[in-house]
Structure 1
Amino acid sequence: MSEQQTPVKPTPIADDEIDLLALAKTLWNGKRTVIISVISGAILGVAVALLSPKEYTASTVMVPQIGDSQSKLGGLGGLAALAGISLDANPGAELSPMIYPQIVSSIPFQMELMNTPLNFQEHAQPITLFDYYTKYSKSSVIGSIKKYTIGLPGVIIGAIKGKPKEISLPGDSAQPVLLTEDQYKIKKELDEIVSLDVNAKEGYLTLSTRMPEALVAAQLAKKAQDLLQLYITEFKIEKAKANLDFIQGRYDETKTEFEKAQVSLAVVNDRNKNFTSALPRIETDRIQTRYTIAFGVFQELAKQLEQAKIQVKKDTPVFTIVEPVTVPSEKSKPKKAIIVIIWIFLGGIVGVGIVFGREYIGEIRNKWNETNG
């Protein structure tokens, strides 16, 4: 009796496997398009990398010194200040490091940076940032392309609006700060090239500047560092300095009065030393009393003056420079290899998109023809 053979049924192929096979086949058929797109992306990436302007970044790392009132709280006071929280009983005397970036981006700070002379390679004499950006700086090829592609709407709107009218302010009273159009543009530029990062967790500040030349970047970073220290110092010692100036003025006045009383007492003593009558003695006692009072006031103000000087020194903040400003030896931008890789990746994405888009459009066209046929 012969055995009856059961026919073997073919294993069904899952729909997702069919879809993946179809996608792989579509991609393989369009490999020429993908390769051309990748090569085009690589060429564009090389062009962008070569045409992008050079940038050098100079930076410095600083640690703000903890004030006397905060030092009594230990490390907690310093960390709280960096986090923008004041644990001081007199919060008006301290300036949180979280405010430092606002100082760097303030108009007075940036106006001083604009007028800072810097040594550019193409110029024999130092020129200011304001002159550099208004007279000598040229837009790069990439910058021009961005301006008339991505930034074209802004260019059109600016052309329609025209230049803003100049505003003149009377000079007979206190006036708000008024920037010219060029100053406003350079301020926006400085917002991009000068930055201050506050690391509240680690407790340090990083000040960075970016410029087309290494030496200029370092000079600008050093100037910004010095200005930041100056602004913070002026703010923190403002009250103590005003008190010192007041005491210094009173001290000078009292010193003059004391010296006059001293001379008057000496003259009276010399003149009346051989007299025994009451009138000369009364005159001597009167001048002696005036001298004693002047001396006492003078002595007290001298003590207060020394205390005020000590207070000014105590309130003067000191930045510990962990990493000083150095002239960068390597460019920070452009990162040519990264730019090329990104453009190759974008080219591949565009190529794959074209292949599948063309397939999808073809299917829609076929269905349309079948429906109308």
Structure 2
Amino acid sequence: MSENKNYQHPDIQDPENDELEIDWMEILRKIIAIRKTLYKAAGVGLVLGIIIALSIPKQYTVTVTLSPEMNGDKANGGLASLASSFLGGGASSNSPDALNATLAPDIVASTPFILELFNTRVQTLDGELDTTLVAYLDEQKSPWWGYIKAAPGMAIGAIKSLFSEETESVPTEINPFQLTQKEAAKVGELRKSVTADVDLKTAMTTITVTLQDPKVTAIVADSVVAKLQQYIIDYRIKKAKEDCAYLEQLYKERQQEYYDAQSKYAHYFDTNRNIAFQSVRAEQERLQNDMNLAYQVYSQVAQQLQVARAKIQEEKPVFAVVEPASIPLQPSETSRKMILIGIVFLAICSTGAWKLLGQPYWNNILFNMKVKG
């Protein structure tokens, strides 16, 4: 008769299942036993959460989306090529641009770009403050623990000011090469508040600005977009402007050379009109050839100058503002309710973990130390 190996006596239970059931029941009983402590922890967490939630200043976020012009083939449709074709020149070829949309985050985060934002005029929503952005940063509120963190530095600065007799001169301009500690702190603060992100697939550029006043945030976001566009435009047309300035100077020089040659030929022709010597005719022919050559060079430079002037307009990128800046109506940070719930939950969990796990383990350590002592 074969023995059923799967048979188990009803009085004998699986030790693993029994241990798991006992553990859960034991944890439940311990939780019920310390429920008063958990209630107290919830009350403390509630009070602490209210204090922290009210201490964190509101912040507002404005997002602007730009769609820059993609670098396409302008060899056949550009203004410079059109002017060149009308003037008899060949089609110009475009070299790859060194500044593309992917560099927008680096441009916005650069120190010179941020320093240009310092003098931006801003105005709060209530109209009580109308000043520059760098002055507004001093008016932003900080949590109370921020003042505690900054207290040692403020105390050291106050002590130094007592012993220093010389007054520091206020610089009229900020030197990007050598920033003061206060200037560097404001640059770092703005670098966190103003960010840019680029979608590599669509080349869409997103500018995000986060500050404590909704109107100031919208003004700064609009200023960042305008300065970024101007920065890229200036970079794109810089080479074209340099070429145009060089051709302008060359055009004036060749024009003067042509006028001089024309004047010499006219003066010599008028002076020796009735003289039939061969030497006079030879000199007259030479002066006429010099005048024609000067005119050819002058005319060629004039054509190149027209092409260069058209190229300045052609090189200007076009930005389509998909989502413009607008004053936000609601703050953007985590709501105070969520902060309150999170702190209460953390207080209950930490208290329960200490009572259930930490305190027995600590008591066991103390007991072993007493036994060994």
TM range (shorter): 0.7 to 0.9
Question: 1: distance between equivalents of 2:273 and 2:370?
Answer: 140
Residue equivalent to 2:32: 28
Does structure 1 residue 51 correspond to structure 2 residue 55?
yes
Residue equivalent to 2:338: 338
Q: Is the 8 A contact 2:112 2:176 kept in 1?
A: no
SS in structure 2 of the partner of residue 237 of structure 1: helix
TM-score (norm 2): 0.75
SS in structure 2 of the partner of residue 59 of structure 1: strand
Residue equivalent to 1:120: 124
Residue equivalent to 1:62: 66
Does structure 1 residue 38 correspond to structure 2 residue 45?
no
- The structural deviation recorded for 1:251 is 1.0
Q: In the alignment, residue 195 of structure 1 is paired with which amino acid?
A: T
Q: Give CA-to-partner distance per residue, 1:82-117, whole Å, 9 cap, x none.
A: xxxxxxx955x3224333222112121111111222
Question: 2: distance between equivalents of 1:238 and 1:211?
Answer: 34
Q: Is the 8 A contact 1:34 1:351 kept in 2?
A: yes
The alpha-carbon distance between structure 1 residues 352 and 71, as it changes in their structure 2 partners (threshold 3 A), is farther
Residue equivalent to 2:276: 277
Q: In the alignment, residue 290 of structure 2 is paired with which amino acid?
A: R
The alpha-carbon distance between structure 1 residues 280 and 68, as it changes in their structure 2 partners (threshold 3 A), is farther
Question: 1: distance between equivalents of 2:366 and 2:297?
Answer: 106
The alpha-carbon distance between structure 1 residues 262 and 56, as it changes in their structure 2 partners (threshold 3 A), is farther
The sequence identity of aligned pairs, in percent, is 24
Residue equivalent to 2:233: 233
SS in structure 1 of the partner of residue 11 of structure 2: coil
Question: 2: distance between equivalents of 1:302 and 1:370?
Answer: 101
Question: 2: distance between equivalents of 1:183 and 1:176?
Answer: 10
Q: Unaligned 5+ residue runs, structure 2?
A: 1-8, 77-93, 162-166, 170-174
- The structural deviation recorded for 1:369 is 10
Q: In the alignment, residue 246 of structure 1 is paired with which amino acid?
A: Y
Question: 2: distance between equivalents of 1:51 and 1:18?
Answer: 45
Q: Give CA-to-partner distance per residue, 1:113-148, whole Å, 9 cap, x none.
A: 112222235766742222333xx52543x1x31442
Q: Give CA-to-partner distance per residue, 1:38-62, whole Å, 9 cap, x none.
A: 2332332233222321212112111
- The structural deviation recorded for 1:207 is 0.7
Q: Is the 8 A contact 1:54 1:212 kept in 2?
A: yes
From 97, 103, 109, the equivalent of 1:99 is 103
Higher mean C-alpha displacement, 57-66 vs 362-371: 362-371
SS in structure 2 of the partner of residue 127 of structure 1: strand
Q: Is the 8 A contact 2:101 2:203 kept in 1?
A: no
Q: In the alignment, residue 110 of structure 1 is paired with which amino acid?
A: I
- The structural deviation recorded for 1:276 is 4.5
- The structural deviation recorded for 1:299 is 1.0
Question: 2: distance between equivalents of 1:260 and 1:71?
Answer: 38
Q: In the alignment, residue 302 of structure 1 is paired with which amino acid?
A: A
- The structural deviation recorded for 1:268 is 5.2
- The structural deviation recorded for 1:245 is 1.6
Question: 2: distance between equivalents of 1:26 and 1:226?
Answer: 63
The alpha-carbon distance between structure 1 residues 125 and 47, as it changes in their structure 2 partners (threshold 3 A), is closer
TM-score (norm 1): 0.75
The alpha-carbon distance between structure 1 residues 39 and 110, as it changes in their structure 2 partners (threshold 3 A), is same
SS in structure 2 of the partner of residue 256 of structure 1: helix
SS in structure 1 of the partner of residue 116 of structure 2: helix
Q: Is the 8 A contact 2:122 2:131 kept in 1?
A: yes
Q: In the alignment, residue 27 of structure 1 is paired with which amino acid?
A: I
The alpha-carbon distance between structure 1 residues 287 and 201, as it changes in their structure 2 partners (threshold 3 A), is same
The alpha-carbon distance between structure 1 residues 359 and 41, as it changes in their structure 2 partners (threshold 3 A), is same
The alpha-carbon distance between structure 1 residues 322 and 67, as it changes in their structure 2 partners (threshold 3 A), is same
- The structural deviation recorded for 1:259 is 3.6
Does structure 1 residue 288 correspond to structure 2 residue 288?
yes
The alpha-carbon distance between structure 1 residues 70 and 197, as it changes in their structure 2 partners (threshold 3 A), is farther
Does structure 1 residue 349 correspond to structure 2 residue 349?
yes
Higher mean C-alpha displacement, 223-232 vs 12-21: 12-21
Residue equivalent to 2:134: 130
- The structural deviation recorded for 1:352 is 1.6
Does structure 1 residue 224 correspond to structure 2 residue 247?
no
Residue equivalent to 2:312: 312
Residue equivalent to 2:6: none
| Regions of 4+ moved over 6 Å | 122-125, 156-163
Does structure 1 residue 109 correspond to structure 2 residue 113?
yes
Residue equivalent to 2:321: 321
The alpha-carbon distance between structure 1 residues 31 and 208, as it changes in their structure 2 partners (threshold 3 A), is same
Q: In the alignment, residue 340 of structure 1 is paired with which amino acid?
A: L
Residue equivalent to 1:251: 251
- The structural deviation recorded for 1:284 is 4.2
Higher mean C-alpha displacement, 258-267 vs 40-49: 258-267
Question: 2: distance between equivalents of 1:167 and 1:281?
Answer: 80
Residue equivalent to 1:78: none
Question: 1: distance between equivalents of 2:242 and 2:248?
Answer: 10
Question: 2: distance between equivalents of 1:349 and 1:102?
Answer: 42
